[in-house]
Chain A
Amino acid sequence: MENKKLVEVKNLRTYFFVEATDKQITEHTENFDEKLNALYAGDKYLKGKVPAKAVDGVSFDIFEGEVLGIVGESGSGKSVTAYSITRLIPDPPGKIVGGEVIFKGKDLLKLSFDEMKDYRGKEIAMIFQEPMTSLNPVMKIGDQIIEVLLKHEKISKEEAFKKAVNMLEQVGIPAAEKRMKDYPHQFSGGMRQRVMIAMALSCHPALLIADEPTTALDVTIQAQIIELMLRLKKERKEAAILLITHNLGVVAETCDRVIVMYGGKIQEVADADSIFENPLHPYTEGLMSSLPDPDKPKQLLQAIPGIIPHILELPKGCKFATRCTKVFDKCWETEPDLIEKGKSHFVRCHLHG
């Protein structure tokens, strides 16, 4: 992969400040660094609350032309990571407390709210799990796409209309010109997701963030959307897609590289082939083996034991220690570093230290 870096995320930390019991407050507020101390001193809202470290020191790159997948279960921090890149973190309770997101040479986290507006939609676009909630129900979909175009590009209304029709055709909506006048509820779930994609791509963003784009869809419709995304990827070589999902099947079908997250940290990064063929982290392994495999003889599934601990009760050492079957003393004490193990295959585990 000789492509250029498009986005560089460095040591990103996004915390959510939540109410906690007294015991949790003493536990979680003793090791504050300067930055957190300053934050707490300057904000009355934070009194009596502790930081839940949803994303805690995440670094990765996104290269041009690739599909990068972030996999993890609910609460792993995968969505928060993506939302932090576009700075769509509701505040309160959330805050991006540290790190950098370098996009085309600029640190997005240092921009003002208004400057950020120029990036959202134009340079970085998002599509969401439930398209109905992200489309305006009382506006014709044509008008919604035209609105985005007019906001970010200096073109006339007529040009914008033509372009919108063109976009809808590209994402495979039949009779696109006629359907411009329809409202979101007149579309089916799959068609709505296509509209969302058309809208997201209308300004040719360099980065498309897709948050569980197929989860709400039926299998046959999901296959259509996956195929559409793969086709768009081929057509737009300079752009990248960041795909957030919990569905390993979708990852295998679409992604070039995969990040596995757990407990707000990256646990493993590798290209898709090596993640699936040679998972190094016990968590990644556990995820793979908990899927039923119809080609193997029937037996009980190899489930990962236990439940994801509450975000304030994650272990001090390795975040996965409470559920890991290969856990040993060191795992409880120190958190392993993310180290390179094989060609661009990184893993955070003492077994590989």
Chain B
Amino acid sequence: MSDKSKEEKVSTTLFQKRWKKFKSLKRGYYSFIIVVIFYIFSFLLPFFVGRDALIVKYEGEYYFPVFKFYLAETFRQKEVQGEANYRMLKEQFKQQDNDNWVLMPVYPYGPNENLLDELTEIPPTHPNNVHFFGTDDRGRDVLARLLYGFNIGISFSLIVTILSYTIGVSIGSMLGFFGGKVDIFGQRLIEIWSTLPFLYVMIILSSILNPNFLLLTFVLTLFGWMGMTYYVRGEFYREKARDYVSAAVSMGAGNSKIIFKHILPNALTPVITFLPFAIVANIFSLVALDYLGFGLPPPTPSWGQLMSQGMQNIEKWWLIGTPLIAMFLTLLSITFIGEAIREAFDPKVYSRLR
């Protein structure tokens, strides 16, 4: 009787248990789903927001400008130099009223597109029903820049976080596993390294070199890996003293097996619980650097750069308000995720005596 019920019981790993708990924490779980969907969506942005048409039918042939660059001459667009202007093309085809047509994205403005020719006022212009969030001081659409900036911000922060965590976990593991002199000297070196002033280095570097995505990732990683070493080192010390590790040694397991098969999977709790907060911190760093002008090179769409424009044109509320709200919502939902992960990993129940 009882044997039967045992067979029905599905074996769950610790991870599955925590995932189940995480799912039950609605606020974090929904934030997670929303952020993931938004992020995936942001890779498909050119299909929804952009200056390049999705499909052009021109004289019996189909063109896919989203995927390929066409010169204006291809469509015999005389008044335009370089790449074709598809919004204009659409108007032209409409007037000609023939077989040719253009399918534009839902929101047909690109993030780096200069709209000075189309605008009736001097930019930055107010939000209206064409440019939902208005335009910036160079006549670029703010909504498009915000959306593309989201993708760049999150991608950048993910890459920096993953890189610095990889370095941090590796070095922390080493310190914790080998202990002794390795640990003492390693820690001192990390302490010395941590005292390097990040901002000065950044300013000096960006005045010598032209800052780009790679350089920024490199520098932020260089200054961001130290925090994780302390936690992983501690976890390694703790796990190393536990009996299952002694058991592995007494079975004849080698160092690499002990590190990767036994200790590391049990030492990753802080890595996972800190991950969302690290992502938040890195998004913030990028925004701050962009704001100060040491960030990604123009014309890369970025929130920080928008805000800095907003500071210069303080009465143009949409320049500072929209990126602030976007950042606030993004960081808030990632923080919710982090909070839920932390709770899912916490075995304690909040309780009191009554």
Contacts and interface: CB of A to CB of B under 8 A. Distances in A.
B353 A92 contact: no
A68 to B, nearest CB: 24
B349 interface: yes
A91 B2 contact: no
B249 to A, nearest CB: 28
B23 to A, nearest CB: 13
A313 to B, nearest CB: 7
Interface in A46-96: 87-94
Interface string A118-143: 00000000000000000000000000
B349 A93 contact: yes
Interface residues of B, number: 10
Nearest to B9: A21
A309 interface: yes
A170 interface: no
B78 interface: no
A309 B5 CA distance: 13
A87 B353 CA distance: 8
B354 A113 contact: yes
A23 B2 CA distance: 13
Contacts of B349: 90, 92-93
Contact of A90 (B5, B8, B351): B351
Nearest to A95: B354
A322 B2 contact: yes
B2 A313 contact: yes
Contacts of A93: 349, 351
Contacts of A89: 353
Contacts of B68: none
Contacts of B350: 92
B2 A92 contact: no
Contacts of A322: 2
Contact of B353 (A21, A90, A313): A90
B353 A113 contact: yes
Nearest to B350: A92
Range of interface residues on chain A? 10 to 19
B352 interface: yes
Most buried by A among B9, B350, B351: B351
Interface string A12-45: 0000000001010000000000000000000000
A352 to B, nearest CB: 26
Contact of B351 (A23, A91, A309, A313): A91
A313 B6 CA distance: 11
A207 B350 CA distance: 30
A324 to B, nearest CB: 14
A94 B9 CA distance: 25
Nearest to B352: A91
Nearest to B20: A19
B19 to A, nearest CB: 14
A90 B2 contact: no
Contacts of B353: 87-91, 113
Contacts of B8: 23
Interface string B329-354: 00000000000000000000111111
Interface in B1-20: 2, 5, 8-9
Contacts of A23: 5, 8
A41 to B, nearest CB: 18
Nearest to A83: B353
A194 to B, nearest CB: 27
A92 B354 CA distance: 10
Nearest to A93: B349
Nearest to A89: B353
A19 B56 CA distance: 58
Contacts of A91: 351-354
- Of all A-B residue pairs in the complex, the 4 with the closest CB atoms, nearest first, are A90-B351, A91-B354, A92-B351, A91-B351
Interface of B: 2, 5, 8-9, 349-354
Given A23-B5, A90-B352, A93-B349, 9 more contacts: A21-B9, A88-B353, A89-B353, A90-B349, A91-B353, A92-B349, A113-B354, A313-B5, A322-B2
27 contacts: A21-B9, A23-B5, A23-B8, A87-B353, A87-B354, A88-B353, A89-B353, A90-B349, A90-B351, A90-B352, A90-B353, A91-B351, A91-B352, A91-B353, A91-B354, A92-B349, A92-B350, A92-B351, A93-B349, A93-B351, A94-B351, A113-B353, A113-B354, A309-B2, A313-B2, A313-B5, A322-B2
